[in-house]
């Protein structure tokens, strides 16, 4: 089996995502799939999984090769909490089942990319805090200090909503500093985030075969507000 670049996408399906917001995510996932298929590097290595979290967490799509990936139906009820901690817990379980770890006898998968989409702060705060301690974004020249942690090459988060309702970027502290803030979650605004995710995956897939500098996230990047 060839080495894969796993991409895990965590989608918020809480009550606040009901209607236009969840449709924007569905359209965004279709755009992401189509853009990666057109990329000669990403199309050969990328595999995508979609995990939904709201009242509970569920695997909508297990890790699937890009060519076989179909955007799953997304449904956000009118009322449901934002149990992101449960989403991360299920992510860790899937990581153990699906990601091939390298050894002396085989080459493992490349470090996965994690994408988190939410428009609210976690309601299962204690579980969320515990799970963030089990996930680690690797940095250049750094090796993990805890072999039990789930290692990711890049973690990208989208925090959407108005000033009063949007999750504070600080909630992702310890997970990632790459938090893109959108004041609304409609197809046009969300496409900016999807383009950034697609570019990140494309650069990463290119760097697997040749050195390519992956542009770091900057708070000054131009995204619709």
Q: Rounded to an integer, what distance in angstroms lies between the CA atom of residue 200 and that of residue 217?
A: 10
> In CATH, what class is 5-207?
alpha beta
* Whole-number pLDDT of residue 213: 39
* Whole-number pLDDT of residue 181: 83
Q: Rounded to an integer, what distance in angstroms lies between the CA atom of residue 146 and that of residue 52?
A: 27
Q: Which of 45, 56, 55, 53 is nearest to 7 (CA)?
A: 45
* Whole-number pLDDT of residue 214: 39
* Whole-number pLDDT of residue 14: 93
* Whole-number pLDDT of residue 2: 80
* Whole-number pLDDT of residue 212: 36
CA distances from 66 to 47, 97, 115 (A): 5, 19, 16
Q: Rounded to an integer, what distance in angstroms lies between the CA atom of residue 103 and that of residue 64?
A: 23
- Terminal CA-to-CA distance of the chain, rounded, Å? 43
CB neighbour burial string for 133-165, b if at least 16 within 10 angstroms, e if fewer: eebbbeeeeeeeeeeeebbbbbbbbbbbbeeee
* Whole-number pLDDT of residue 222: 44
* Whole-number pLDDT of residue 107: 84
* Whole-number pLDDT of residue 141: 42
Q: Which of 205, 90, 210 is nearest to 153 (CA)?
A: 205
> Which regions in the chain score pLDDT beneath 50?
140-142, 210-225
* Whole-number pLDDT of residue 147: 62
pTM: 0.86
* Whole-number pLDDT of residue 52: 97
What are the structural domain ranges in the chain?
Answer: 5-207
* Whole-number pLDDT of residue 196: 86
Q: Rounded to an integer, what distance in angstroms lies between the CA atom of residue 153 and that of residue 12?
A: 22
H/E stretch holding 118: strand 113-118
Q: Which of 72, 70, 46 is nearest to 58 (CA)?
A: 72
pLDDT tens column, 69-121: 999 999 999 889 999 999 999 999 999 999 998 888 888 899 999 999 988 88
* Whole-number pLDDT of residue 210: 43
């Amino acid at each position: 089996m060839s080495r894969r670049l796993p991409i895990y996408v965590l989608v918020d399906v809480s009550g606040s995502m009901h209607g236009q917001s969840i449709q924007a995510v569905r359209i965004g996932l279709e755009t992401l799939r189509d853009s990666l298929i057109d990329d000669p590097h990403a199309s050969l290595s990328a595999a995508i999984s979609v995990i939904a979290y709201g009242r509970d967490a569920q695997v909508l799509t297990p890790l699937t090769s890009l060519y076989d990936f179909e955007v799953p139906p997304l449904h956000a009820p009118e009322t449901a909490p934002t149990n992101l901690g449960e989403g991360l817990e299920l992510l860790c379980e899937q990581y153990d089942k699906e990601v091939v770890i390298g050894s002396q006898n085989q080459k493992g998968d490349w470090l996965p990319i994690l994408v988190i989409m939410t428009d609210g702060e976690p309601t299962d705060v204690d579980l969320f805090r515990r799970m963030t301690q089990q996930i680690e974004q690797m940095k250049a020249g750094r090796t993990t200090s805890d072999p039990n942690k789930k290692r990711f090459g890049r973690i990208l988060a989208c925090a959407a909503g108005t000033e009063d309702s949007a999750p504070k970027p600080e909630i992702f502290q310890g997970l990632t500093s790459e938090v893109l803030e959108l004041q609304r979650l409609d197809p046009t605004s969300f496409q900016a985030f999807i383009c950034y995710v697609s570019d990140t995956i494309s650069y990463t897939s290119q760097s697997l075969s040749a050195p390519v500098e992956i542009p770091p996230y900057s708070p000054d990047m131009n995204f619709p507000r």
